[in-house]
Amino acid sequence: MTQAAKSAPSAKQLLNEFTGAFADLGTFLPLVLGLIALNQFSPQGIFFGFGLFCLAVALFYRRPIPVQPMKVISALVIAQGLSPGMMQASAMLMGIILLALAFSGAIEWLARQVSQAVATGIQFAIGLQLLWIGTKMMSLSPLIGFGAFAIIFLARFTPWHHLAMPLVIISGMIWQYYHGSDVAFTFNNTQWQLGWPASGEWQSALTLLVLPQLALTLTNAVIASSMIAREKFPDDAAKFTPKAFATSSGLANLLLAPLGAMSMCHGAGGLVAQYHFGARRMWAPLIFSGFCIAVALCWGENVAWLLNLIPMAVLGSLLSTAGLQLAWSRRLIDGRPFCMLVIAVTAGVSLFVNAAAGLAAGLLLEFIQRRWQLAASPR
């Protein structure tokens, strides 16, 4: 059999890849549509940026490494009504910082300090946060949201698990069309053009957007994503270093922001969600890349209307599924007592402060333990 024949996916594999490609819509669509509808961002610029980043990811990693909006930056831009220039400045600044950390070796040094227990605590906290956000979204239409979540969860125990997500999305759109409320957002046709932040937007973006986002990006999009990717795809573990993830995210933000793209990164939750729904190879990011580029090129009222037919409660069910998968780990039940303490402290501080503080707390605990062991050992 030729190499090409070996690499060609079967119909079932292609369906799994297609399902996995759209598994992260619960994170993607609410933030993207919010920026377009509420902040007058260019829809073509945003979708084209995602399409190009996903294409690059597919060709380089050749695995379903997700591409997501940077959640903190996107949420703050929407909540505070900030301009596209602020988004561009924050994306380019994040790109510069990530590239500096990658090529200075600082990101690899930080990753070496993070034990499995600390990583599990961070993943647990992020998973619970996604689960909580998804639950609030599902509660907007409890019957639809929690019903979709139950179908997705129970389908994992059947041979047809790969059909669950398309089923709930399509069913939700049909329900919304016949029984749902009026369209909540008014989409715009802001011209797609090259842009550059104003001089005053750089400093504001650094303090308001970049610094709050940086901790989550380093822990979730770089370190945690790297560890999960190496666990899921051990044959390609050499590709999935923190340096590689920081470099790909850094280059994408630095190069695509002037084209109208929003701040983007990889993500542990998205990786778990895509893997859970069947994505295993490069086809998933290629499919999502094609979808985003097609939306960018064909954007109009009909496309906006169609996307808005997906109920928010259904998107919440996808987000909750990803959160549940990310939060769960065997180490939560079979770890040693001290590891369980590190996991609990790391997760607790991450939840009630932020991921960077949780990382620092976990590292401090392990440093104290090492010093204690050195002091107690016979000389």
Residue-wise pLDDT tens digits, 136-171: 889 988 999 999 999 988 887 877 766 777 788 888
Residue 342 lies in a domain: no
Relative to beta strand 264-265, strand 68-69 is antiparallel
Give the count of domains, the chain. Answer: 1
Backbone φ and ψ for 68, nearest 5 degrees, come out as -130, 160
CA distance 152 to 314: 11
Q: Is 366 among the domain residues?
A: no
Beta carbons of 53 and 250 less than 8 angstroms apart: no
Q: Is residue 230 part of a domain?
A: yes
Q: Is residue 345 part of a domain?
A: no
Is residue 154 domain-resident? yes
Structural domain span for residue 211: 9-329
pLDDT at 286 over 90: yes
CB 47, CB 69: distance < 8 Å: no
Start-end of H helices in 206-266: 211-216, 225-232, 242-256
191 belongs to a structural domain: yes
Query: Which tens digit of pLDDT belongs to each residue from 200-221?
Result: 899 889 888 887 678 778 888 8
Residue 148 in domain:
yes
pTM summary value: 0.74
Phi first, then psi, for residue 265 (nearest 5°) are -160, 180
Q: How far apart are CA 265 and CA 137, in angstroms?
A: 23
Amino acid 186: pLDDT? 55
Does the residue 346 lie in any domain?
Answer: no
